[in-house]
Structure 1
C-alpha cells in the first residue's frame, strides 16, 4: 500500500481533521483516508451531450414549434 505525506498544512485544518476524526470514532489518519476516498470516488459529471441523449423521446419536433399569432413579432420592451 502506498504512503502519502502532506506538508505545509495550516494548523487549524489539522485540528479540524482531528476533531472530525474524533467525532467519527477513528484516527486522524483513517479520517484522512476516508475524506480522500470520498472526494476521489465520486461519479464523474456527465457531459451536456450525455444528458441530452438520456432524455426520453416525448413527441415530434412539430409539437414544439413556435406559433406566431400575427405577422409582426410581439413587442416585449415598450
Structure 2
C-alpha cells in the first residue's frame, strides 16, 4: 500500500541538491527522494552466527590466544 509524504520547509540548497542528484540519475526529484528514503531506511540482510564465524580470517595459532601464558 503506497502512501503520500509531504516534506515542507526544505532549505533551497537541499532542494537544489535533490534536483541535481535526480538529474544525474535520470529520474524525477520525487523518484530521487523515494530512492534516498528507501536506501536510508533499508535494513541490511542479517547474517547467521555461523556465517559471521565463517567469515573471520584464520590467523594465528591457538597458543597466541592463551591469556595465561607465562
Which interval holds the TM-score relative to the shorter structure?
A: 0.5 to 0.7
Shift of 1:8: 1.4
The number of residues matched between the two structures is: 60
Q: Residue 53 of structure 2 corresponds to which residue in structure 1? A: 55
Q: Which has the larger radius of gyration?
A: 1
Q: Residue 5 of structure 2 corresponds to which residue in structure 1? A: 4
TM-score, normalised with respect to structure 2: 0.66
CA RMSD of aligned residues (A): 2.8
Q: Residue 31 of structure 2 corresponds to which residue in structure 1? A: 30
| Structure 1: gaps spanning 5 or more residues | 69-78
Runs of 4+ in 1 over 4 A off after TM superposition: none
Shift of 1:5: 0.5
Shift of 1:55: 2.4
List aligned pairs for 1:31-46, cutoff 5 A.
31-43=32-44
Q: Residue 14 of structure 1 corresponds to which residue in structure 2? A: 15
Q: Residue 73 of structure 1 corresponds to which residue in structure 2? A: none
